[in-house]
A and B are shown apart, each in its own frame.
Chain A
Amino acid sequence: KQEVTQIPAALSVPEGENLVLNCSFTDSAIYNLQWFRQDPGKGLTSLLLIQSSQREQTSGRLNASLDKSSGRSTLYIAASQPGDSATYLCAVTGWGGGYQKVTFGTGTKLQVIP
């Protein structure tokens, strides 16, 4: 059974700092990995999708990397801004029983202090 862990559970940083969020998974036979952000009281917004054959994906100030062999993904946020404050979740997609199975991490709650 796939298990996805996100550490730390909460993080508080001053504005402008570069930061890294971590996502670990136990089964390396994954199809892809997706990073989401969730603002309080809102839905999940997709940030980056990394296919199993890829090493990283970039979008603006965000960079996500994937190391399947070690079961890790990181989300790098450059020059953090107060608007980046949200909960960040990673989701790992694998295959089981002939169909896709998605496992979410418990999230990292980020606060960027002005």
Chain B
Amino acid sequence: DAGVIQSPRHEVTEMGQEVTLRCKPISGHNSLFWYRQTMMRGLELLIYFNNNVPIDDSGMPEDRFSAKMPNASFSTLKIQPSEPRDSAVYFCASSGEGGAVGYTFGSGTRLTVV
């Protein structure tokens, strides 16, 4: 298995633009997580999907953020409009069997909003 695949690896965009981050979880994993990591706040859970259904989105900072999981093999995190304070590394992780097999993280997307 290729692991959790995220794209793009790096994204630089201007303030106000729409940004879409993509994630392909490990095949067979039924839980998917989006995290944001910054120096100041560490690793923050944004949203958690189970069987493609959003279970916990309490970490989504505001309405500018939205996430979808249209099928078991693909998820997106969208920021519209983007702001400089959204600059961070965004990670996607997946797990199977209710977390019994642990979590596998993607390599992350480094987002810079200028």
Tell whether, in the assembled complex, residue B99 and residue A100 are in contact, meaning their CB atoms are under 8 Å apart.
Answer: yes
A104 touches B42 (CB 8 A): yes
In this complex, the member of B31, B56, B103, B110 whose beta carbon has the largest number of chain A beta carbons within 10 angstroms is: B103
A44–B100 CB distance below 8 A: no
A102 lies within 8 A of B103 (CB): yes
Report whether A43 and B107 are in contact in the complex, using a CB–CB cutoff of 8 Å: yes
- Asked whether B56 lies within 8 Å of A99 as measured between CB atoms, the reply is yes
Chain B residues positioned under 8 Å from A104 (CB to CB): 42-43
Indicate whether A89 sits within 8 Å of B98 (C-beta atoms), given known contacts A42-B107, A44-B91: no
- Flag A45-66 by CB within 8 Å of B: 1 or 0 each: 1100101000000000000000
Are A46 and B55 in touch, CB under 8 angstroms? no
* Known contacts A34-B103, A104-B42; A99/B33 CB under 8 A: no
Which residues of B sit under 8 angstroms from A31, Cβ to Cβ? 98-100
**What is the total number of residues of chain B having a CB less than 8 Å from a CB of chain A?**
24
Asked if B43 contacts A100 (CB within 8 A), the reply is no
Task: Tell me, rounded to whole Å, the shortest Cβ–Cβ distance linking B60 to chain A.
Answer: 16
Among A36, A46, A93, A107, the residue within 8 A (CB) of B99 is A93
**A91 close to chain B: CB less than 8 A:** yes
Residues of B14-31 contacting chain A, CB below 8 A: 31
A32 contacts the other chain (Cβ, under 8 Å)? yes
Determine whether A28 belongs to the interface, using a CB cutoff of 8 Å to chain B: no
Complexed CA–CA distance, A42 and B95 (Å): 19
User: Do B102 and A46 touch across chains, with their CB atoms under 8 A apart?
Assistant: yes
The answer on a CB contact under 8 Å between A34 and B102 is: yes
Bits for A19-34, please: 1 = Cβ < 8 Å to B, else 0. Answer: 0000000000001101
A5 CB-CB contact with B under 8 Å:
no
Residues of A within 8 A of B48 (CB): 99
- State whether A46 and B103 are in contact (beta carbons under 8 Å apart), knowing that A100-B31, A102-B33 are contacts in the complex: yes
In order of increasing CB-CB distance, the 7 nearest A-B pairs are A49-B102, A44-B105, A100-B99, A43-B107, A93-B99, A43-B105, A34-B102
- Given contacts A46-B103, A51-B100, A99-B56, 4 further A-B pairs with CB under 8 A are A43-B106, A45-B105, A97-B56, A100-B95
